[in-house]
Amino acid sequence: MSLDEHTLIQKYFSDVGSAFLAEKGVRVSVGDDAAIINNTPEKEFVVSIDTSIAEVHFLSSMDPSDIAYRSVAIALSDLAACGASPSWFTLALTVESIQEEWIKDFCKGLQSVCDEFRIPLVGGDTTKGPLSITVQVMGYCEEGCSITRKGAKAGDGIYVSGLIGSASKGLDDLKKGLEGTDEILTFTRPQARIELGKNLVGIATSAIDISDGLVQDLGHICSQSNLGCEVFLNKVPTRKNIPLTHKSINSGDDYEICFTANGLKEQIIKSVSEELGIPITKIGEMTEKKFIKVIDSEGKDIEVNAGYDHF
């Protein structure tokens, strides 16, 4: 006998992250018409939403727990770029049919991300159709302290966390049928840099998470801050020190944080990097000129491939 929507939700989703409901001020959660959340004084809410579609944003052949984890983590990455603390999330799940073993494994991935970031699932929707997952995340910052894409100043250094290009290589490995590589893990279980984002409040003048490609996403900081930038290709950090090319620098799916900061913050940034155990690398500088320059090891400007196109 197949499960109806109500039974499916109650059996598999009603308890996901429930241990954190009281901690996050959630009075009514999964199972009612809507969640009810207590307002937090002197905080500002930070909200983001991401949709992941099979064969577009992930492979349907992936482990369901990885699909679930990845879908939530990439949404949380937006909160990280704003310096926000996650508080809860909602989930809209579309599946072609209810396969209970798949749902069980999917929920294991949800619980993993809930436990890691101490957030509950508070609501959502289930529908029938091609596999698609939409996740809305809510977080908060102290009032007036959220980091945005607007605020960079000419002369600010440009920094990135972690490594660039690994996730794209991981996706290629998955498509080739490989298993167990570090690059595959980077794609299937991206790290939402929440603690780094929180530590960058008061340090970063602007920030963005790298989803569509380093240069493409950095371009959003440039346009919002009404500036340009210079990026040195050979300074962009990669796994095993394999230099990026004009093709791979914009491959996307990195979910690292790209941020700008005044040079006087250099030592503080180094301390944050060491304390959190997260590599942070300076890759360039913001400029008054309203264009983006990517410079190779010989000092020549190069043209890079376009990043991910949503349409």
For 251-269, how does the pLDDT look when each residue is reduced to its tens digit (9 = 90+)? 889 999 999 999 999 999 9
| Residue spans of the chain under pLDDT 70 | 1-4, 241-243, 246, 305-311
Amino acid of residue 216? Q
Those residues whose C-beta lies under 8 Å from the C-beta of residue 163, and which sit 6 or more positions away, are: 186, 237, 238, 239, 254, 256, 279
CB 162 within 8 A of CB 237: yes
H helices present in the chain, as ranges: 5-8, 64-82, 100-117, 166-175, 182-188, 194-200, 214-225, 266-276
Cα separation, 302 vs 241, whole angstroms: 20
Q: What is the pLDDT of residue 301?
A: 80
Which run of H or of E encompasses 43? strand 43-53
Q: What is the pLDDT of residue 196?
A: 98
pTM of the model: 0.92
Q: What is the pLDDT of residue 296?
A: 84
Q: What is the pLDDT of residue 167?
A: 92
Cα separation, 40 vs 298, whole angstroms: 53
CA 111 to chain centre: 18
Q: What is the pLDDT of residue 38?
A: 86
Cα separation, 249 vs 292, whole angstroms: 14
